[in-house]
């Protein structure tokens, strides 16, 4: 696992965007899997600027997303579908036909299986962008998720609901389950970058780097992949040993 420690959120976002830019320039038709949430937001802003400056194009990029809440419509401003369009897709030249998110409505089991098939059909994920939960989740693979897990419905833990309530009017509105790529799906990506900033992530980052590989900390399974880069700020690095 490669570790990059940057001074603050802005420099983390610059480094992450530079890596993504380099990958896109190397393979203009690549399949990228995006995360939602606060961690990648500034990186997405940098990608938008790079697109506006004509440094990169997303015209031939196919996108996937890690996860989506179950039971809320795409039009709901709290949905990840809405988040991605608002914060990235509407501001770049990606072809709407090439945008794929897991479907959190209808038959979730079937949606999960179809999503897995689609990823394979499109040739797999070249670049995976991850955040990390305070409890070590990646995508919505909460503690206890199996290494061999695939896209499926997952019950959100209390700490995830607590962390995500800021996006909703109140805590009761946070969906109790989500559809999420599994750990096996994530680990099949060719290249993975994980963005983490702020002190609240420092324990999860410590556990991922220095802790054991265990279902209790889903991010620890990233140690099994041969091309993972953690890009974190000094606050998230606070507990790390030298």
Q: Please, what is the minimum distance in Å from the beta carbon of residue 25 to ligand F6R?
A: 25
Decide whether 60 or 215 has the Cβ nearer to ligand F6R.
215
Select which of 46, 137, 164, 217 is catalytic.
Answer: 137
Select which of 9, 68, 126, 142 is catalytic.
Answer: 142
Decide whether 19 or 138 has the Cβ nearer to ligand F6R.
138
What is the separation, in whole angstroms, between the first and last Cα of the chain? 15
Residue nearest to ligand F6R (CB): 131
Residue 81 is among the residues annotated as catalytic for this protein = no
Q: Please, what is the minimum distance in Å from the beta carbon of residue 210 to ligand F6R?
A: 20
The alpha-carbon radius of gyration of the chain (Å, integer) is 17
Residue 135 is among the residues annotated as catalytic for this protein = yes
Rounded distance between C-alpha atoms, residue 161 and residue 173, angstroms: 10
Contact 236, 38 (CB under 8 A): no
- Residue 101's nearest CA partner among 142, 41, 175, 151 is 151
- Residue 4's nearest CA partner among 137, 208, 226, 196 is 196
Assigned token pair, 94: 């990606």
Q: Please, what is the minimum distance in Å from the beta carbon of residue 83 to ligand F6R?
A: 8
Which residues, 6+ apart, have CB-to-CB distance to 242 below 8 Å?
A: none
Decide whether 62 or 79 has the Cβ nearer to ligand F6R.
79
Q: Please, what is the minimum distance in Å from the beta carbon of residue 66 to ligand F6R?
A: 4
Q: Which residues here bind ligand F6R, judged by CB under 6 A?
A: 35-39, 66-67, 131-133, 137-139
Select which of 111, 135, 141, 207 is catalytic.
Answer: 135
Decide whether 1 or 60 has the Cβ nearer to ligand F6R.
1
Rounded distance between C-alpha atoms, residue 61 and residue 215, angstroms: 33
Decide whether 104 or 133 has the Cβ nearer to ligand F6R.
133
Catalytically active residues are 67, 135, 137, 142
């Amino acid at each position: 696992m490669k570790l990059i420690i940057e001074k603050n959120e802005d420099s983390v976002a610059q480094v992450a965007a530079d890596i993504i830019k380099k990958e896109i320039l190397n393979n203009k038709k690549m399949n990228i899997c995006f995360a939602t949430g606060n961690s990648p937001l500034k990186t997405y802003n940098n990608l938008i600027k790079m697109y506006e400056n004509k440094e990169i194009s997303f015209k031939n990029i196919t996108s996937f997303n890690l996860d989506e809440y179950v039971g809320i419509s795409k039009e709901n401003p709290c949905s990840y579908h809405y988040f991605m369009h608002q914060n990235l897709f509407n501001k770049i030249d990606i072809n709407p036909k090439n945008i794929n998110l897991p479907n959190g409505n209808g038959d979730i089991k079937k949606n999960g299986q179809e999503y897995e098939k689609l990823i394979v059909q499109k040739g797999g994920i070249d670049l995976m962008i991850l955040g990390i939960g305070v409890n070590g989740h990646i995508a919505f693979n909460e503690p206890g998720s199996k290494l061999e897990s695939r896209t499926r419905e997952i019950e959100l833990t209390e700490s995830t609901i607590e962390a995500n309530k800021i996006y909703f009017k109140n805590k009761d509105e946070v969906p109790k389950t989500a559809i999420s790529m599994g750990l096996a799906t994530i680990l099949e990506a060719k290249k993975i970058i994980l963005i983490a900033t702020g002190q609240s992530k420092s324990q999860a980052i410590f556990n991922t780097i220095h802790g054991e590989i265990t279902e209790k900390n889903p991010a620890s399974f990233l140690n099994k992949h041969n091309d993972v880069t953690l890009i974190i700020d000094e606050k998230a690095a606070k507990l790390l040993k030298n």
